[in-house]
């Protein structure tokens, strides 16, 4: 059975690319996901991308070869967050 891998990213428009801020496998990966959910940080499950990004040390920008995949994840998160905010303003949910 494979162990979970998690990678936490920060996107800041002042940086040239998203930054890896944390990573973990197994119990640490589970804890990262729990902390994200506790604090309302969106999570996206993408095992292949997480495994690939795991090689990037915390504090480093993601490698250029992952820009497209990470942009798709960030776009999904942004669209989901925008939809949730719209529902809250309408009194839905």
64: Cα within 13 Å, side-chain hemisphere = 1
pLDDT exceeds cutoff 60 at 84: no
The CA distances from residue 31 to 18, 40, 74, 75, 80, in Å, are: 21, 14, 21, 24, 23
The residue range of the domain holding 33 is 5-90
Count of domains in the chain?
Answer: 1
Q: pLDDT tens across 4-61, in order?
A: 999 999 999 999 999 999 999 999 999 999 999 999 888 999 999 999 999 999 999 9
Q: Give the CATH number, domain containing residue 47.
A: 3.40.1690.10
Backbone phi, then psi, for 51, in 5-degree steps? -60, -40
pLDDT exceeds cutoff 90 at 76: no
- pLDDT at position 85, please? 54
Q: Answer yes or no: are the C-beta atoms of 3 and 29 closer than 8 Å.
A: yes
């Amino acid at each position: 059975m494979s162990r979970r891998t998690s990678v936490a990213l920060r996107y800041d428009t002042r940086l040239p690319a998203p930054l890896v801020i944390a990573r973990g496998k197994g119990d640490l990966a589970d804890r990262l996901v729990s902390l994200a959910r506790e604090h309302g940080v969106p999570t996206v499950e993408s095992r292949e991308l997480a495994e690939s990004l795991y090689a990037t040390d915390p504090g480093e920008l993601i490698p250029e070869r992952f820009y497209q995949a990470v942009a798709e994840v960030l776009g999904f998160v942004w669209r989901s967050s925008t939809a949730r905010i719209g529902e809250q303003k309408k009194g839905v949910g």
